[in-house]
């Protein structure tokens, strides 16, 4: 039998491609070497959000106690939390397996590799299986990257996979890399009372965000008494006498119970047999065209194609691919504006263009903004630090960025507004509820615009 579609990898990209294609009536096989759900479910988005969700009351109580309204302590049992995470993930994987069965998707557990045109081999526990395909989707995802001298040793120097598997939360933590993983994990450790140090090679935290966002985050972290060391080059990370020791290029040393290395992730392409179908790997990623195609009838979606490392982007690409293979769409892949959210408290949301990206553009560029301090919901939660910024290009909304408590709530309305390219006139077409954090978005949209220079 020849499958209409074989998918390698059951993360958000592969699982969504497989289930959507089966929903269109195609005969589909899904090959997964480890666990259904991929990085996102098992070692990424979901466990970190379970950690953040379980500890958010600690942060809320702390804010209210500063107003002398509340006192006391929220105690989160880390071992119980880890048990809940394990149970939740197992339950979700079971539900995913049932969904595959219901849709008639054949699941092959094992390492999949290409073996010439139209053929995939699966190295399973009970031997090698050979499968035939008409179309193939590679969705093998990504894994942590390491720089020489900064490799985790699994003892006191950990990557995010190892960090999420810990049995106790350390009393002190050094995070190398102030990106999304580093800052989300550091916030959890902080809520458990850990002394946090953050080190980054760049001169600001969250360096891919708007510089004003980085500044707002830094001021909050400093208030929390984090030691934030920026523009620092790390020469080595080692476990010495049961402690993690970081050595800077300058020779300066920092010590903590654990060190988390979170300096980025890279595509998984090793051993895939890509050369057997003439696919070349550039910068370790599988290059794709505007149809997400890497070779005739072979596509790559999600982290492995290096376009963007977000679960919802992978899933969106997977759905497009399924529709394309089923003949339900013939246009090129269009992502639309891609929202991103850094979770915790504060949160950061961003969609569309940023002020620091737009200033060289030939369009008439303006920004307008609102401070969270003026918003009743931010006031009610005693978390008023932060802002919403709207970027306008030729009188249309081209981007929205926000930082502060709960601003992830603004993501979907902001994404729709950017996708529709609202003008000032469109503000009157929709009513925003009162009181709500959404009104801070409305306030930013209504605020006076200043030219970007
Ligand atoms: C700590 C952390 C937190 C994150 N939080 C978020 C978040 O909040 N929001 C967000 O949008 N993104 C988040 N991400 C990123 C997100 O997890 C990824 O962007 C997403 O999982 C990519 O999906 P994917 O399907 O491309 O690949 P993956 O999820 O990596 O899945 C790939 C799958 O392919 C399998 N595989 C690999 N090679 C083979 C092979 N040869 N044969 C068979 N199977 C194979 C792997 O075992 C894996 O299951 C986070 C990542 C991390 C590490
Ligand atoms: N909420 C979310 O959507 C979410 C959460 C976690 C991860 N992710 C995704 O996972 C991917 C990987 O996350 P990440 O945090 O590892 O990567 P990242 O790219 O977000 O951050 C890496 C950080 O490490 C720093 N860095 C790089 N090399 C360094 C060095 N040698 N020494 C010190 N600092 C160094 C960078 O300047 C950067 O600040 C991201 O692309 C992100 O999209 C998303």
The pLDDT tens digits for 43-81 are 999 999 999 999 999 999 999 999 999 999 999 999 999
Query: pLDDT of 231-241, one tens digit each?
Result: 999 999 999 99
Ligand whose nearest atom lies closest to the CA of 181: 2
CB 388 within 8 A of CB 372: yes
Active site residue 312: no
Return the H-helix or E-strand segment holding 383: none
Name all domains of the chain by residue range, CATH numbers in brackets.
Answer: 2-44+79-144+266-325 (3.50.50.60), 157-263 (3.50.50.60), 340-451 (3.30.390.30)
Q: Is 310 annotated as a binding residue?
A: no
Strand order in the sheet with 340-342: 340-342, 347-352, 396-404, 387-393, 365-371, 450-451
Quote the pTM value: 0.97
State the distance from the centre of ligand 2 to the C-alpha of 182, rounded, in angstroms.
7
What is the average per-residue pLDDT within 323-342?
A: 96
3-state secondary structure 136-171: EEECCCEEECCCCCCCCCCCCEECHHHHHCCCCCCC
Helix, strand and coil content of the chain, in percent to the nearest 5, comes to 35, 25, 35
Q: Is 246 annotated as a binding residue?
A: no
Return the H-helix or E-strand segment holding 414: helix 411-420
Query: What pLDDT is recorded for position 453?
Result: 81
CA distance 419 to 71: 44
Query: pLDDT of 12-51, one tens digit each?
Result: 999 999 999 999 999 999 999 999 999 999 999 999 999 9
For residue 302, the number of C-alpha atoms closer than 13 Å in the C-beta half-sphere is 32
Query: What pLDDT is recorded for position 284?
Result: 85
Greatest CA span in the chain, whole angstroms?
Answer: 70
CA 342 vs CA 44, 49, 267, 308, 320: distances in Å = 13, 11, 21, 15, 25
- Using CA positions, which residue lies closest to atom 7 of ligand 1? 45
Return the H-helix or E-strand segment holding 57: helix 45-66
Ligand 2 pocket, 340 CB below 6 A? Answer: yes
Copy the structure tokens of residue 215.
């500044």
- Using CA positions, which residue lies closest to atom 18 of ligand 2? 179
pLDDT above 90 for 359: no
For 445, other C-beta atoms within 10 Å of its C-beta total 22
Specify the DSSP class assigned to residue 39: H
Please list, residue by residue across 327-338, b when 16 or more beta carbons sit within 10 angstroms of its beta carbon and e when fewer do. Answer: eeeeeebeeebe
CA 186 vs CA 119, 221, 333: distances in Å = 44, 10, 36
Ligand 2 pocket, 346 CB below 6 A? Answer: no
Ligand 2 pocket, 181 CB below 6 A? Answer: yes
Q: Is 118 annotated as a binding residue?
A: no
Query: What pLDDT is recorded for position 70?
Result: 93
Radius of gyration of the chain (CA): 23
Q: Is 415 annotated as a binding residue?
A: no
CA 315 vs CA 318, 342, 371: distances in Å = 5, 18, 33
State the distance from the centre of ligand 1 to the C-alpha of 41, rounded, in angstroms.
8
State the distance from the centre of ligand 1 to the C-alpha of 358, rounded, in angstroms.
31
Q: Kindly state the percentage of the chain with pLDDT values over 70.
A: 100
Query: pLDDT of 275-317, one tens digit each?
Result: 999 998 988 899 999 999 999 999 999 999 999 999 999 999 9
State the distance from the centre of ligand 1 to the C-alpha of 440, rounded, in angstroms.
33
For residue 357, the number of C-alpha atoms closer than 13 Å in the C-beta half-sphere is 16
Q: Kindly state the percentage of the chain with pLDDT values over 90.
A: 96
């Amino acid at each position: 039998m020849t499958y209409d579609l074989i998918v390698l990898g059951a993360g958000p990209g592969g699982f969504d491609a497989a289930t959507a294609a089966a929903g269109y009536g195609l005969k589909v096989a899904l090959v997964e070497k480890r666990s259904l759900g991929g990085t996102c479910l098992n070692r990424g988005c979901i466990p970190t959000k379970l950690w953040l969700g379980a500890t958010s009351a600690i942060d809320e109580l702390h804010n209210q106690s500063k107003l002398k309204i509340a006192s006391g302590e929220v105690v989160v049992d880390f071992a119980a939390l880890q048990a809940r995470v394990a149970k939740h993930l197992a339950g979700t994987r079971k539900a995913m397996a049932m969904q595959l069965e219901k849709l008639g998707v054949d699941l092959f557990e094992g390492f999949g590799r290409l073996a010439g045109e139209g053929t995939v081999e699966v190295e399973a526990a009970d031997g090698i299986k050979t499968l035939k395909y008409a179309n193939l989707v590679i969705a093998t995802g990504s894994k942590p990257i390491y720089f020489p001298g900064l490799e985790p040793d699994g003892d006191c120097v950990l990557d995010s996979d190892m960090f999420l598997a810990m049995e106790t939360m350390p009393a002190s933590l050094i995070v190398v890399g102030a990106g999304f993983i580093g800052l989300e994990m550091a916030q959890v450790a902080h809520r458990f009372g850990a002394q946090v140090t953050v080190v980054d090679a760049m001169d600001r935290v969250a360096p891919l965000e708007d510089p004003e966002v980085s500044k707002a985050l830094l001021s909050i972290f400093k208030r929390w008494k984090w030691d934030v060391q920026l523009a620092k080059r790390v020469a080595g990370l080692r476990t010495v006498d049961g402690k993690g020791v970081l050595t800077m290029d300058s020779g300066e040393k920092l010590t903590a119970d654990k060190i988390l290395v979170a300096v980025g992730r890279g595509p998984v392409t090793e051993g895939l047999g890509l050369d057997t179908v003439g696919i070349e790997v550039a910068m370790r990623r599988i290059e794709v065209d505007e149809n997400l195609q890497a070779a005739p009838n072979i596509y790559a979606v999600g982290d492995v194609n290096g376009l963007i490392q977000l679960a919802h982007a992978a899933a969106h690409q997977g759905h497009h691919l399924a529709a394309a293979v089923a003949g339900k769409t013939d246009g090129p892949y269009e992502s639309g504006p891609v929202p991103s959210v850094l979770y915790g408290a504060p949160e950061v949301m961003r969609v569309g263009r940023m002020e620091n990206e737009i200033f060289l553009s030939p369009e008439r560029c303006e920004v307008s903004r609102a401070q969270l301090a003026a918003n009743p919901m931010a006031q009610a939660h005693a978390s008023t630090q932060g802002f919403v910024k709207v970027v306008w290009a030729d009188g249309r909304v081209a981007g929205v960025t926000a930082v502060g408590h709960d601003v992830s709530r603004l993501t979907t309305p902001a994404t729709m507004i950017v996708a529709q390219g609202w003008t000032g006139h469109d503000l009157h077409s929709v009513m925003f509820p009162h009181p709500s954090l959404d009104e801070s978005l409305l306030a930013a949209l209504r605020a006076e615009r200043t030219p970007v220079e």
